[in-house]
Amino acid sequence: MLEAFSLTGKVAVVTGGAQGLGRAMAFSLAGAGAKIVIADINEEKARATAEELRQAGFAAEAYQVDVAQRSGVDSLVSHVVERYGRLDVVVNSAGLNRRYPMAEITEADYDTIMDVNLKGTFNVCQAAGRAMLNLGIRGSLINISSMSSLIINRRRPVGVYCAAKAGVNGLTRAFAAEWAPHGIRVNAIAPGYFLTPLNEPWMQTEQGRDALEQTPMGRFADPKEIGPTAVYLASDASSFMTGHVLVLDGGYTIW
């Protein structure tokens, strides 16, 4: 049964893979047998993570890319196909947030949130999906959404982020519907609060403590806890799943 989770011989690109949830998923995918391309806007951190993977005995490389810029995304996909001859798995983990009330957020911050989280997801899905279609590969695209795509977080000024991630869910279903006949699956993971380097300072604030109190499991998640979910969606273990948004939030959206 465990063979269904194997990614041996597969090539996986993880955008935003240099740190946080992307890094955790990259390590899990590598552990399942995939060759990893860490694609991140921060080249230095991407190279460091790729080196950590190699030191652990895995095949990995780094590639600098801004997912909001289509030319860079196209170059990334072309590089992977030329080097490996295939592209099997893509995890769209590149993302960011700006915390401003709806009445105060600037046009520039709105555009940044949408460009990276929503347009970036579209750019990578379309470019990678086209490559899979051309190669005849039955691949898996995994978009990192958020539990905030399903709700508006209480007492947190992140409304535009919620809207962007809701758009990610819509893109996930749209790509999944069109590409299902070709064997390309498109799903999303909607994480709750994870103890990533970017989140930890905020989690020590009053808002962070408030968020913890609203989580039924009574704790924040370790980034390692998202890795097996990515392996499941990337592998044949989820071969009949597409267009699904899998919530991983410690029960936050129950209430």
pLDDT at 253: 97
pLDDT in tens, 175-200: 999 999 999 999 999 999 999 988 88
The mean pLDDT of 220-230, rounded to a whole number, is 97
pLDDT at 194: 97
pLDDT at 15: 98
Taking residue 209's Cβ as centre, other Cβ atoms within 10 Å add up to 10
Spell 107-144 as b/e; 16+ CB within 10 A means b.
Answer: eeebebbbbbbbbbbbbbbbbbbebbeeeebebbbbbb
How does residue 77 score in pLDDT terms, banded at 50, 70 and 90? very high
Predicted structure pTM score: 0.97
Domain map (residue ranges) of the chain = 2-248
Catalytic site includes residue 161: yes
Nearest alpha carbon to residue 243 among 170, 161, 145, 181: 170
Residue 78 has pLDDT above 90, yes or no: yes
Instruction: Count CA atoms closer than 13 A to 145's CA, side-chain side.
Output: 30
Superfamily of domain 2-248: NAD(P)-binding Rossmann-like Domain (3.40.50.720)
How far is C-alpha 209 from the geometric centre of its chain's CA atoms?
25
User: What are the start-end ranges of the H helices in 96-239?
Assistant: 107-114, 120-135, 159-179, 200-203, 206-213, 227-234
pLDDT in tens, 207-221: 899 999 999 999 999
Q: Could you give the CA distance from residue 152 to residue 162 in angstroms, rounded to a whole number?
A: 6
pLDDT > 90 fraction of the chain, expressed in percent and rounded: 92
The mean pLDDT of 62-70, rounded to a whole number, is 98
pLDDT at 129: 98
Q: Could you give the CA distance from residue 248 to residue 52 in angstroms, rounded to a whole number?
A: 26
Q: Which of 84, 100, 110, 161 is catalytic?
A: 161
Among 207-211, 221-225, 230-234, which stretch is predicted with the lowest mean pLDDT?
Answer: 207-211
pLDDT in tens, 99-147: 899 999 999 999 999 999 999 999 999 999 999 999 999 999 999 999 9
Nearest alpha carbon to residue 3 among 25, 32, 26: 32
pLDDT at 72: 98
pLDDT at 198: 80
pLDDT at 156: 86
Taking residue 233's Cβ as centre, other Cβ atoms within 10 Å add up to 25
3-class secondary-structure state, position 26: helix
Please check whether residue 40 is in contact with residue 62, taking contact to mean a CB–CB distance below 8 angstroms: yes
